[in-house]
Amino acid sequence: MTAHAPTPIRATPTYPPAVHPAKHPLPADNLEDFAREVVVFTMPPGDVGRLMERAESDLPGLASLAAVLRVMAHNPDSVWAIARRSDPLKSASAEGFVGFLMLNAEGLRRLVAGSFDASDPDLDLLCRQNERPAGIYLWAMWARNNLVAGIPLAFEKMFTPLTRDADIYARAVTQDGKRLLETMGFRPGAVFENLSHPGLHSLPRSGVPADAPLYDRYGQGRPDKAISVTVARSMEDLLRVVAIRSAVYIAEQECPYLEEFDGNDFSSTHLLAYVGNEPVGCLRIRYFADFAKIERLAVRKEFRKMRISPHLVEAAIELCQAKGYQRLYGHAQKRLVKFWSQFGFRTFEGGQELVFSDFDYVEMQMMTERRPNAITIGVDAYLTIRPEGQWHRPGVLEKSRARPVTRPSIDRGAA
């Protein structure tokens, strides 16, 4: 329930090492040890004012009581009470608390940018109880003496199916708080998209770095319902693309085979969307001199209520921007013009109406600003030989430069 200093900088891929290595990483394997003397439960609103008055001397800069109650009404899972175990016939009396803010994507963006007001949170930046957060901010924690054992119990509440893949962020107000965070597995620094904040600590949990691009978010072991997108890089990936498009275009839309698989699939980038580890959607990108064409968007029927399509389109736009394209182009079925418009695509003067594979289409385009970090001649040359869509991480050829230059085929006299 405290604010943090607004000191954003451009994102960097490294973190300073934790001074205090994690001794009790979350989630706690020995949870029963913590649970012997204390209990954790959702905070009764009537106890909030009393506890905040007691905590103010230890935690300067607490949010106002009105702000805390407003956040709790928005999402009751935001504040958890810690109490000593009592007689089973008596109600436990709250003696400590842990507060969390469930941030949506814009809220997380502002947190790491340093423009998030934690003293009076904007509810438009917070998720409700039934919404999946993009990130979780440790708002405040206060417990004295043996009640500190209840803090890991409160963190266990952040490992539900809805919250377990959201990274947790915190700011240490005191040196003791910093030590406690790092013994629980938090590391100094926080990164999201193209921003970083060295004054925050972060606890990565999704298995995917928070600053990973939208087109490289898939990894084995993702939560069952997590949506992620990746670039297709293998023949098996391409078979997944073929299976999805066959189900959607050939089976549902009755497109002839030779019209769906048109000879362009081996000259394109394909994106695959997953729900957990199940491939559910795909999209194709082709490249021309001054524009990239986004096409063949398909999502399996049984997953369409999960809004997979926006994940694929946003990932495609980001990938094209990384390659330096400022004009994106596509043929939209007329019934889907509104869908494409929400991403910035517009019909344009002189645009042609088309008919193919028994549907009517219209040309649309989107203009974007050139990204300062787009891949161009003059960047690190090793970046241009990394795998497609993984330009943000070192590739296997960079590892090979650690070997001495031997030119084995030349030394053997090969032509």
Q: Give per-residue pLDDT as tens, 3-15.
A: 443 433 333 333 3
More confident residue, 229 or 150: 229
87-124, pLDDT tens digit by residue? 554 566 778 888 899 999 899 999 998 999 988 999 99
Q: Please name the residues in contact with 33: beta carbons below 8 A apart, sequence gap of 6 or more.
A: 149
Q: How confident is the model at residue 383 (pLDDT cuts 50, 70, 90)?
A: confident
Where are the domain boundaries for CATH 3.40.630.30 in the chain?
9-203, 227-367
| Helix %, strand %, coil % of the chain (to 5) | 30, 25, 45
Across 318-343, average pLDDT: 95
Q: Yes or no: say if 110 and 162 are a contact pair by the CB < 8 Å rule.
A: no
CATH fold of the domain at 9-203: Aminopeptidase (3.40.630)
Q: Is the pLDDT of residue 21 over 60?
A: no
Q: Which of 81, 67, 171 is nearest to 126 (CA)?
A: 67
Q: How far apart are CA 150 and CA 35, in angstroms?
A: 7
Across 50-78, average pLDDT: 85
Across 262-269, average pLDDT: 96
Check if CATH label 3.40.630.30 holds for domain 227-367.
yes
Q: Which of 180, 109, 193, 121 is nearest to 149 (CA)?
A: 180
Strand partners, 188: 201
Q: Is the pLDDT of residue 252 over 80?
A: yes
Q: End-to-end CA distance of the chain, in Å?
A: 70
